[in-house]
């Protein structure tokens, strides 16, 4: 059975976030990656890894996410983390906030180590927020604050995926109340093609 046909509670959703050395996947690299996989309320796996980007982290980026060159100097390169991330993404629906950003960097990093990023459905909580809600700001931490979801350590990958999961759960509850049953039903409300 295809992922899209699965009932929401039977599907594996993998929430993912990256922190980077800049804004463009053409010129910057990943310096932290985190992912958590859930089926319903059951956590199936967690990955949270600082990554040595192989280049300096600019001070303005450290000012956003707090990751310093010293923190990553003894961390694995992305190629060492990629197989674990691939295993987590198997048969998953990927969920990210501003998914185009994360997917752009992940595709670039996978390509750089000779791997192909898996073709999976991608749901973007930013697109869902814009389509179905009227938040004061659609930035991740601001949505979390409006929904009374803790947003400590915003802009660190693991904290961001936990916030994304809780925001997505809030959206899914609303979708279920309006008749959504399958992954496809959610996708129709805001699939982000990345």
With a cut of 70, say whether residue 145 has pLDDT above it: yes
Integer Cα distance of 20 and 192 in angstroms = 21
In 3-state terms, the chain is what percent helix, strand and coil (to 5)? 45, 20, 35
What would the pLDDT profile of 11-31 be if each residue is shown by its tens digit? 999 999 999 999 999 999 999
Candidate from 13-17, 78-82, 148-152 with smallest mean pLDDT: 148-152
Distance CA 34, CA 98 (A): 15
pLDDT (0 to 100) of residue 152: 79
Element (H, E) at 33: strand 30-39
Classify strands 42-50 and 30-39 as parallel, antiparallel or unpaired.
Answer: antiparallel
pLDDT digits (tens, 9 = 90+) for 56-75: 999 999 999 999 999 999 99
For domain 3-188, the CATH architecture is 2-Layer Sandwich (3.30)
Please tell me the predicted confidence (pLDDT) of residue 150.
83
- Crossing angle for the helix pair 99-112 and 78-89, to the nearest 10 degrees: 120
pLDDT band at 190 (very low <50, low <70, confident <90, very high): low
Q: In which element (H, E) is residue 128 found? A: helix 125-132
Axis crossing angle, helix 157-177 with helix 125-132, rounded to the nearest 10: 40
The whole-model pTM stands at 0.94
Closest CA to 102 of 125, 81, 80: 125
- Give tens-digit pLDDT for 88-132: 999 999 999 999 999 999 999 999 999 999 999 999 999 999 999
Average pLDDT of every residue of the chain: 94
Domain map (residue ranges) of the chain: 3-188
Rounded-to-integer distance, Cα 155 and Cα 57, Å: 15
């Amino acid at each position: 059975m295809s992922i899209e046909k699965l009932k929401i509670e039977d599907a594996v959703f993998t929430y993912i976030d990256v922190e980077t050395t800049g804004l463009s996947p053409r010129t910057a690299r990943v310096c932290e990656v985190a992912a958590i996989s859930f089926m319903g309320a059951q956590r199936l796996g967690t990955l949270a890894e600082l990554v040595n980007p192989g280049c300096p982290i600019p001070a303005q980026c450290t000012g956003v996410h707090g990751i310093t060159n010293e923190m990553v100097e003894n961390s694995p390169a992305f190629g060492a983390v990629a197989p674990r991330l691939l295993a987590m993404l198997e048969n998953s629906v990927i969920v990210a906030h501003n998914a185009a950003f994360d997917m752009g960097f992940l595709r670039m990093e996978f390509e750089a180590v000779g791997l192909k990023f898996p073709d999976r459905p991608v749901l973007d909580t930013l697109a869902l927020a814009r389509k179905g809600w009227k938040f004061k700001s659609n930035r991740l931490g601001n949505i979390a604050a409006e929904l009374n979801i803790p947003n400590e350590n915003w802009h660190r990958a693991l904290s961001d995926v936990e916030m994304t999961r809780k925001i997505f759960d809030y959206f899914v509850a609303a979708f279920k109340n309006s008749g959504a049953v399958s992954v496809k039903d959610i996708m129709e409300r805001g699939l982000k093609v990345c």
